[in-house]
Amino acid sequence: MKKISVILSGLLFASNLIIAQEAAESPEATSGAENTGYNKFSVRPIHESDIMYKKTIIRALDLREKQNKPLFSKNRELTRLLIDAVQRGDIKAYATDSLYDGKTLTIEEFNERIKMPSEQAELSAEELEIMKANGEDIAAIGGGPNYYFPTDLYQMEIKEDIIFDKQRSRLYYDIHAITVYVPADHPANIRGIQTPIASFEYKELVNKLFKDNPKAIWFNPQNDQQHKNLADAFELRLFSSYIIKVSNPNDAYLVDIYGGDQQKGIMAAQWAAFELLEYEHNLWEF
């Protein structure tokens, strides 16, 4: 009888130990903990022990392209959703796509970044009141700041990991961040270079902005009955992009690796895409 009791106690202890280990490894149970083995910015976290291959890449998107127009439909532009959500305080805007740094922008800092640069000095509140009293047209003089419209912000970047999960024998595209830029060719951009406005945690966008939001749609130009939620559109890769950076020791963009030569940078982007495609193909070859 004693022997049976000892065996049962041992089995119960082992069972509890397994349950405790599974709970400790669960992304939901350890989302705020350190060194859990899961990436807290992943929509579908994969434990690091199951990752056989990983490459971090950055893709550039132009929302004016025909294939990307569904992300940029009138009054439901992706950039409009992002700007409105930040100004409501619904989502965080990060200073860079290095989300682990945790540097977020205040609403005031974010608004400053979407303000159009002006060669004309802004007027103080006191000066504006004097001008109003004198009956001067403040709008004509440009008394207040102008801001970029959501339709002006058509350049974006996606930062993601390409991961092969050996547990499921599947390749995943794990988006971490989306960054919005002021285009270099915008007439109001007097600096003439592409300027980052803010980066956004993709997981937060899915959970707080995209899901169950009737405005967060990928517009299907072929069938109004088949519009998709933005979360599904990104999951299904319903966008056009090209690779501009693949993780490397110097943390350099492809165009910089080739001395700033734009043509060679484009060729390198195509070659990088082919290499990733070939790697995925070879996974199923053996």
Residue-wise pLDDT tens digits, 59-72: 999 999 999 999 99
The more confident residue out of 24 and 216 is 216
Q: In the predicted model, is pLDDT for residue 131 greater than 60?
A: no
CA 75/CA 216 separation, integer angstroms: 11
pLDDT attached to residue 128 = 54
Work out the percent of the chain whose per-residue pLDDT is above 90.
57
164 forms beta bridges with 53, 171
Q: What string of DSSP letters covers 272-283?
A: HHHHHHHHHHHH
pLDDT at residue 124, rounded to an integer: 54
Distance CA 234, CA 102 (A): 24
How confident is residue 263, by pLDDT bands cut at 50, 70 and 90? confident
Question: What is the predicted pLDDT for the residue at 83?
Answer: 97
Residue 255 has what pLDDT? Answer: 83
pLDDT band at 205 (very low <50, low <70, confident <90, very high): very high
* Amino acid 84: pLDDT: 97
Higher pLDDT, 143 or 180: 180
| 145 pLDDT above the threshold of 50 | yes
What is the predicted pLDDT for the residue at 283?
72
Contact in structure between 188 and 196 (CB atoms under 8 Å): no
Confidence check: pLDDT of 14 > 50: no
Question: Mean pLDDT throughout 239-244?
Answer: 94
List the beta bridge partners of residue 231: none
Q: What local confidence, expressed as pLDDT, does residue 192 receive?
A: 85
Question: Which tokens hold the place of 248?
Answer: 């490397």
The number of angstroms, rounded, from the C-alpha of 153 to the middle of its chain's C-alpha atoms is 15
Domain map (residue ranges) of the chain: 37-115+147-247, 253-286
H-helix or E-strand spanning residue 195: strand 195-201
Q: Residue 25 above 60 pLDDT?
A: no
* Residue partners of 254: CB distance under 8 A and separation at least 6: 243, 244, 245, 246, 265, 268, 269, 272
* Phi, psi dihedrals of residue 217, rounded to the nearest 5°: -120, 150
Mean pLDDT along residues 31-54: 84
pLDDT for the residue 193: 87
Phi/psi at 125 (5° precision): -60, -40
- Choose between 101 and 197: higher pLDDT: 197
d(CA 208, CA 200): 12
Alpha carbon distance 41, 206 (integer Å): 11
Distance (Å, whole) CA 25 – CA 47: 8
Cα first-last separation, the chain: 54
Residue 280: per-residue pLDDT: 75
Q: Which two tokens stand for residue 96?
A: 């860079």
Token pair in block for residue 235: 């999951």
CB 156 within 8 A of CB 181: yes
Instruction: Identify the weakest region by mean pLDDT among 97-106, 170-179, 277-286.
Output: 277-286
